[in-house]
Amino acid sequence: MSEKKAFIYVDGAARGNPGDAGIGIVIKDKENKPMAQLYKYIGQATNNIAEYTALIYATQQALILGLKDLVIHSDSELLIKQLNGEYRVKNANLKPFYEQFLHLKTGFDNIEAKQIAREDNKEADKLANQAIDSRIDTGLKSF
């Protein structure tokens, strides 16, 4: 297992669709210890745009941390199935996010995307909702 492997949990939340939106990200090392948490209020967005925004920020943060091998977890079926090529990205508003992810992906040795149950993504969900509640532009905590 790579020394630079990490497990990333992402979530996007929108109150209304579109509505006030936020993102939450939790990055853990291979021993399940927190490496970083990030939340951000992103203004008015759909839930799917919030999910993709969380993915982009998580991928960028992983690059900043020098990570090379990622396992990305999300409770968004659409996001994970699009990342794994099971669904095409048809929505014109999501295509730029998807294309940006493909570009960022080239900075890694390996990226896996796994769908998880909503209850297994509580930390990222809490951060996304915290961002909406507090209208905090960005909160980053490194461990």
The rounded distance, in Å, linking the Cα atoms of 117 and 95 is 25
pTM: 0.94
Per-residue pLDDT, 139: 73
Q: Residue 83, by phi and psi: left (phi above 0), alpha (psi -120 to 50) or beta? A: alpha
Per-residue pLDDT, 138: 67
| Tens of each residue's pLDDT in the chain, 143 residues | 446 899 999 999 999 989 999 999 999 999 999 999 999 999 999 999 999 999 999 999 999 999 999 999 999 999 999 999 999 999 999 999 999 999 999 999 999 999 999 999 999 999 999 999 988 666 777 77
How many angstroms separate the Cα of 14 from the Cα of each of 42, 90, 100? 10, 21, 21
The rounded distance, in Å, linking the Cα atoms of 127 and 41 is 10
Per-residue pLDDT, 44: 96
**Structure tokens given for 85:** 């090529």
DSSP-assigned beta bridge partners for residue 133 = none
- For the chain, domains (ranges, CATH) are 5-142 (3.30.420.10)
DSSP assignment letter at 57: H
Per-residue pLDDT, 51: 98
